[in-house]
Amino acid sequence: MLVLVAPGQGAQKPGFLTPWLDLPGVTERLTWWSAVSGLDLIHYGTKADEEEIRDTAVAQPLLVAAALASAQALFSEGAEEFQGSLGATAGHSVGELAAAAFAGVLTAEAAMVLVRRRGLAMAEAAAQAETGMAAVLGGEQEDVVAHLTKLGLTPANVNGAGQIVAAGTAEQLAALAEDKPEGVRRVVPLKVAGAFHTDHMAPAVSALETLIAGAPVADPRIPYVSNRDGQVVTSGAEVAQRLVAQVSNPVRWDLCMETFQQLGATAIIEVAPGGTLVGIAKRALPGVKTLALKTPDDLEAARALIAEHAVPVADTPAE
């Protein structure tokens, strides 16, 4: 059983879209999504430096566009191939918007409109106070969460495999660096502009609630695993509501991986710019094959993995 996942903010690197533009149709799709989102995705994905693409308002649309473009390159026959191959889909943080498009809940255009507004709203919320995030590596999950709570920090991403991302004010993060939880190997500051998935993002939730009320949504055509609680969500309206609430709620990627296991996952492919999520899966889901789409050179191996692990399509009964 094959799961397709989309990464979250921080996965982007300068120039990472450049090789994808050599594939048929990618430049045209990115040009169209640039018009839809009001952002020059080709410039930011090929020529912009690290500081430019660190900007939340840029990084989020860029990541969703890359996820959609690489998935369309992988499943070149379109929606029917998706439905006939995938056992489930999920996204980490902003990657949930791409996953919602994979599942047919949102169109690609709707996903790009929403992610552009999401990025802008979260950037505006982040500018109201000096906040940030840091990866906490190692330690027992319960002990780490209790320690973060004591310091006033939020466990904003519980990723599993010994990784929790703490979020809060600059002062709280400084206190964490000086007073690490027992068993923690390292605390690594992340290159993000704010305390995402915490109460600091409440203003962004309000902005997205107004916008998503008019978005066209459909029920998922493949199992959609929500990173709020790892549950499979079958209602398009509920997926839309969760996409908004997720902005100020923690990401429970550990629970998503538990659900992948319960569903019988045998392989995971992470769309571009892949690497982070399959790295976690290798530690948390031993025995599950993984592949990250970093460049088009990875497409051949990904297609071989699909052929081996795709959900079997039932034979159509004779008339």
**Catalytic status, residue 93:** yes
Which of 34, 70, 85, 197 is catalytic? The answer is: 197
Which of 34, 37, 70, 93 is catalytic? The answer is: 93
To which residue do tokens 């999401």 refer? 118
Q: CB under 8 Å to 33, separation ≥6 — which residues?
A: 41, 61, 65, 68, 108, 109, 112
Residues marked as catalytic: 93, 197
